[in-house]
Amino acid sequence: MKDTSPHEVDTAVRAAYEAFHVGRHVDLSTRASWLEAIADGLARNEAALVAIADRETSLGKPRLESELRRSIFQLELFAGEIRQGEHLDATIDHSDPHWGMGPRPDLRRVNQPVGVVGVFGASNFPFAFSVMGGDSASALAAGCSVVHKAHEAHPDLAEQTAQTVAAALESAGAPPGLFSLVAGRTAGENLVDHPLIKAVGFTGSTAGGRALLQRAQSRPEPIPFYGELGGINAVFVTTAAWQRRRESILKEYVNSFTLGMGQFCTKPGLLFVPATGREELRRLLSEALSGFTPIRLLSSGILEGYERSVTALRDQSEVDVLVEGTFAPQPAPTVLHTTGADVLAQPELLRQEMFGPASLVIEYEDDMKLPDLAGLLEGQLTTTLQTEPDETPTNLLEVLAGISGRVLWNGWPTGVTVSYAQHHGGPYPATTSNTTSVGTAAIRRFLRPVSYQSFPPGLLPEPLRDENPWRVPQRIDGRWDRPGQS
């Protein structure tokens, strides 16, 4: 797919803007049906799409099929969410002459879509964070239109997916231009700069994300930049857990950090374990890794970056190698090693993301030091505690909640469900905002509230009318009324 010219980007954004103004007038059920039409279109084209993805990536059909299923499910879940009107936060304050600070006028607030959204596709999820991934789905659910910047790692899939989406939207009666695709680095920059773009969703590297964040904030009109920049994902194993089940913990750890060749933002990149001895760790890890068959990384660029990051960490004098990997096209996993004392002296050791099948094991001396060690970490998408129920360091849990978007108990961070309670985000550098890019709450990013003061009933948006024609949840004078819920 060839790069989109500045003129073509402008045309796409203007068409998206027109579509936004047509599309914003439909009711929730119609908008939900557009998402469902896209879901149906993707499902009908599953075989063809997965075949293209399989050709353009090395991820393999089972993974690709489940990723596409996830993307389809996500559209259906979001359709259900907006059909309920949960995302509107419709709030009605009737006029009140006795309001505590003085007479209150009739005031009503509802969330409205922000406009045209620019979405950047990710290399590592050809479906779930690409053309019709979480950012695109949540922006469309919010009522926005989307111009998507394809990731160059799977261009044919991007084009085919976009065609599927466009055909589905057309057949469902959505306005033309509601969704479109652009390609190329310059097109991405043009997108962030375009005055009609009102928000950006991004999944990618910290360096690239940071540059685009600055760009978005330096526009004449700064706009929100929802960047999911990656993760280190520290896992802490207590002495109690280590004594009872170190072998299974290491087996599960290896499964998690090598899953998808470690090309997940939720890959466990750090494992804190009690002092054990390098030889014992080496033996256990080699055993756990023994049956592993590597596959190709997503691109040669990722392989180069992977080698660079692993080498940079390995070359630190405080770091040694537990399991020697390779940087072949199908790289064997690498496990590095350091100690709690070393990272206390040099916390930067904990901040090197290695995007690929590598992880760092840190041996610590004393469970009491775990909160201090956790305190060295930057913001994390996830942190995990492996422990025994009766011996839980609650002070460590508090530190973990303070630096993470999601905290796991005796689990592993790879595998991110799409649901109501999901939060896939975290303090910087995990993300650039306090929002989530996964789950129904992701829709909120692309909405902004508007209040209406003293409006005649007939001119209010439907969700704000007393007779509630759309039967959405309404907070009325401070109390919620949910007609859809018995």
Residue numbers annotated as active site: 228, 265
CB 383 within 8 A of CB 371: no
Which residue in the set 5, 112, 163, 316 belongs to the binding site for a second copy (CB under 8 A)?
112
Site membership for a second copy, residue 337 (CB under 8 A):
no
Q: Residue 443's closest CA among 418, 476, 465? A: 418
Q: Which is nearer to a second copy, 217 or 300 (CB)?
A: 217
Structure token digits, residue 464: 């704000």
CB of 336 to a second copy, least distance (A): 25
Cβ proximity to a second copy, 114 vs 358, nearer residue: 114
If the CB atoms of residues 292 and 480 are measured against a second copy, the closer one turns out to be 480
How many Cβ atoms are within 10 Å of 406's Cβ, its own excluded?
25
Among 76, 307, 353, 367, binds a second copy (CB under 8 A): 76
Structure tokens at 95: 């006029």
Instruction: Select from 479, 481, 442, 463 the least CA-distant residue to 83.
Output: 463
Residue closer to a second copy by CB (options 86, 307) is 86
Q: How far is the CB of 425 from a second copy (least distance, A)?
A: 7
Question: For residue 229, which amino acid is it?
Answer: L
Contact flag: residue 421 with a second copy (CB under 8 A): yes
Interface map 133-172 toward a second copy (x if CB under 8 A): ----------------------------------------
Enumerate residues 436-455 that contact a second copy by CB under 8 A. Answer: 436, 441, 447-455
The binder of a second copy chosen from 105, 173, 301, 469 (CB under 8 A): 105
Q: How many residues does the chain have?
A: 486
Alpha-carbon separation of residue 228 from 75, 129, 305, 333, 449 (angstroms): 20, 10, 18, 25, 24
Maximum pairwise Cα distance, the chain = 77
In the complex, the smallest distance separating the C-beta of residue 99 from a second copy, rounded to whole angstroms, is: 7
Cα-based distances in Å from 247 to 286, 335, 370, 408: 11, 16, 21, 19
When binding is defined by CB under 8 A, the residue of 138, 352, 404, 468 that contacts a second copy is: 404
Structure tokens at 270: 């750090």
CB of 38 to a second copy, least distance (A): 16
Residue 248 touches a second copy, criterion: CB under 8 A: no
Map the footprint of a second copy across residues 287-316, applying CB under 8 A.
Answer: none
Q: Residue 357 and residue 258: Cα distance in Å, rounded? A: 5
- Between residues 351 and 369, which has the closer beta carbon with respect to a second copy? 351
Chain CA centroid to CA 433, Å = 12
Q: Is 73 in the site for a second copy (CB under 8 A)?
A: yes
Instruction: Compute the least distance from the CB of residue 386 to a second copy, in Å.
Output: 11
Give the Cα separation of 301 and 448 in Å (integer). Answer: 38
Residue 4 vs 161, nearer CB to a second copy: 161
Contact 285, 323 (CB under 8 A): yes
- Give 260: exposed, middle or buried? Use CB within 10 Å, 0-12, 13-18, 19+: buried
User: In this complex, which beta carbon is closest to a second copy, that of residue 280 or of residue 477?
Assistant: 477
Considering only residues 196-215, where is the footprint of a second copy by CB under 8 A? 213-214
Q: CA-to-CA distance for 193 and 195, rounded, in angstroms? A: 6
405 counts as binding a second copy under rule CB under 8 A: yes
Residue 478 interacts with a second copy (CB under 8 A): yes or no: yes
**Least Å from the CB of residue 322 to a second copy:** 27
Quote the least distance from Cβ 5 to a second copy, whole Å: 27
Three-state secondary-structure class, residue 186: helix
Which of 4, 45, 57, 74 is close enough to bind a second copy by CB under 8 A? Answer: 74
Q: How far is the CB of 1 from a second copy (least distance, A)?
A: 28
β pairing state of 447-453 and 107-113: antiparallel
Q: HSE, CB side, 13 Å, CA atoms: give it for residue 308.
A: 6
Residues numbered 361 to 400 that lie near a second copy (CB under 8 A) are 378-379, 389, 392, 394, 397
Per DSSP, 463 falls in state G
